[in-house]
Each structure stands twice: as structure tokens, then as C-alpha cells.
Structure 1
Amino acid sequence: MSEDQSDDQRDTQDDDPRRVLTGHELETELLADWRLLFSTLHARFETGDFATGVRLVDAIGEAAEEADHHPDIDLTYPRVTVRLTSHDVGGVTSRDVALARRISDLAGSLGATPEPAGVSVLELGLDTWDADEIKPFWIALLGYEATDDDVELVDPTGTRPTIWFQETEQHETPRQRWHLDLRIPPEEADGRIRAALAAGGTMVSDAVAPRFWVLADPQGNQACITTWIGRS
């Protein structure tokens, strides 16, 4: 794609600030510091010390107020993690892209180093033959809420993993019923899988990779590495 074509595509994408961009469209934006995980852009910046992290958070706050578009920010020593999404439309839009570029510039001006390989999102999948029967228990126990489509349970504070339910035939315990879904940047998948296999794991299935891979630990407990590729 030529530079002019790329610019034209971005101009088209910017025409509607409420339109949710696809993963492939976001790839053309060349946001080197950011990765799409589910419906959110994620970035991590290594600040080296806490004071620099505070200055970066302050600068991001000012930029967000100017744009009237506000990210979620975690400040820990020695890094700042930022998440951007347009909550009103349920995905990433040109508004998020513009603010992501601004945040990257701010981080660079403070000497903070981007670490896109460090971002991930953990989900918990629960195998069940009757999700409606057990959802009320997990909502009550964890203080979670059902999503509008009633498919997942989410933490209203946004700090704990989403829980989703996978249909299975009825069976007796102790057959495994929980498994971990780890969403990571696509380019990190191969390395993470190799590390898991080297640690004694096995590949259960890569039939739909790179959408997801199913791995198991030495005792057969399964977990999935997932990416955005191959999803609508």
C-alpha cells in the first residue's frame, strides 16, 4: 500500500468518530506502542521510576481532558499501563487512535519505554451444561454483573477477569471445568506457546489458530492462548 493510499484509508476511517475499527484497520494505523486485545487498545510504558510515572499520568490526564475522551490508567512501579476504548459504541474508534498517538508522544518525551509485549488480558472459562443455573451463584459470590447479551459475567470495577461459559455434556467432578483464556498480541503467541511446551505442556489443538490454541499442563489441565485474528 502506498503512503497516499494509507493516508486516504485513515482519512476515511476518521470520517465517522463513532465507527468501530477492525483489527486489520488498526494494523494500518501503525500504532507501534499499542495492541488490540478484545475491544480495547492496550499499552505499557516502562518509566524507570515512580516520579516519571506520576508525570506521565498527569500528562495523559491533561491530554484526555482536552480530547474529552478518557482512558483507563494503572500506575505501578516502575510502569504505566493504559487502556483505550470508546465505551459508547463498544470498541476502538478514530478517537482512541488519535489519543493513543498523543499518549505515545507524551511517553516518549518523558523517556518512558513502550513494552507492547507485556500487555495481556486474562479471562476465565467455565465448562457447564446449564449456564443459567450457575450464573446467579457467581454473580452473588464475586459481585459480578451479566453483560447486556447475558453471555459473560464482568467485574463492574474492570479489575478482575471476565467469566464466560462454555457448553459441555454433563459430567461428574473432578473433571476439569475451569480453564484460562489468555489474550495476547498476535506476535507474542509463538514465543509464549514454545515456552509453555518447553515447560512440559502439550499442544491439544491448533485447528483454528491463530484465533486460539489449546494447550495442557502435564496433568492435562487446559488453557487457551487467544488473539484477535480470525474474529469478527
Structure 2
Amino acid sequence: LRVTFQDEYAVSVGDDGLVILWKLQEVGVSKKEKETTYAEEILITKSDLEEKNSLIRELKQRVTELREENDYQLKLKEMNYAERIRDLTDKFMQEMENLKTKNTVITGEKEKEASKHAEQVHDLIEKQNKELQDLESSNNQKLMLEYEKYQDLQAKTQKTQEEYERQITELENRKEEEVTRQRMQYTAQLEKLKNDLILEREKNKQQSRDHEETKRQIEEDADEEILKLMQTHEQALIEC
């Protein structure tokens, strides 16, 4: 027995497959106020159920076939991988053998090159030592020559220094004598100028005195002349 979604009908099914639909109505209770309850079971026809069961069996069969196919493919891949691994292993071992052979050849060539290089280094060291000895001998000779040149240059420098000092001394002596001579000459000239200045001053004083005397005589003569003229003029006025 089940109730529909809107609580309007009740459905009952008998053992004989008879379905009865009952209309429900409760006095004083609104349909909207009732709580809606969903059933977990659903109604389905027998044909739909058989169809779904058949589909489920087919799907299970398909899953089984796919699993077997997948297992078969996995086994094939494992076999292929195993074959490839064997091929790669054989190839790797062959390459390892080739590398060992090449390494042996390279090691022999390396030892030959090392021996040749050691011999070349030995020859180069001997040559360098000989060149160093020759260079040292040549440098010693050059150093002796340069030392002799240095000694000569030092002697010349000493001689030049002594000559320079002698010339400096002579110049200083001549300078001192010249300064003394010029000082004496300047002193004599200064003394002469002082004497000339004194004489000139005395001469100027005498000339000034003579000038004053001449001026006084002229003034006296002028006064006498004026007096005579005045007397003559007065006499002329009296006579008139």
C-alpha cells in the first residue's frame, strides 16, 4: 500500500496483480499543511524490469569481455616489452664490448701520447735550461759592460760636479768683487753728488743774497728816481 505525492490517492496491489486506486480526503486538514513524504520504492512494469535485467547481463558480459581483452593486450604488451628489453640488453652488451675495445685502443694510444709528451717535455726542459745558461752568460757579460759604463759615467759625473763647483766658486768670487767695486763706485758717486749738492745750495744761497741785494739797490734807485721826478714836477709847478 502506497500514497501518492499529493496525498490524494492510495494505491494497493494484490497477489493476483490487481491494482486498486483509493481517493483520500481528511476532514478539517488542508492538503498544503501536510508534509510531503517520498517513498524509496518505485513502480515499474515487468517488461521494463526484464529489459533492464537483460541490459545489466549484457553490460556484465561486456565488462567481462573487456577485462579479458585488456588482460590479453597487457600480456601482448608485456611480451613485446620483454622482447624489446632483450634486444636492448643485447645491443647494450654489444656496445659495451665495443666500448671496451675502443677504451683499450684509446688507452694504448694515450700511453703512447703520454710517453711522447714526456719525451718532448724532457727535450724542452733541456733546451730551456741551455737557453737559460746562455742567457745568463750573455747577461753577465752585458752586466759587466754596463757596470764599466756606469763607472765611466760616475767618474765623468764626479769630474763635471767638481768643475761645476769650481765655476760656481769663481762666479761667487767675481760676483763679490763686482758687488764690492760697484758699492765703492756708488759710494764715491754718492759722495760727489752730496758735495755737488752742498756747493749748489751754497751757490743758490749766494745768488739769492745777490738777488736780494740787487733788488734792494733797484728799489732804492727807483725811490730816488721817483723822488727826483716829484721834486722836478713840483718845481715846474711852482715856476708856472
TM-score (norm: length of structure 1): 0.14
Structure ranking higher in helix proportion: 2
TM-score (norm: length of structure 2): 0.14
Larger Rg: 2
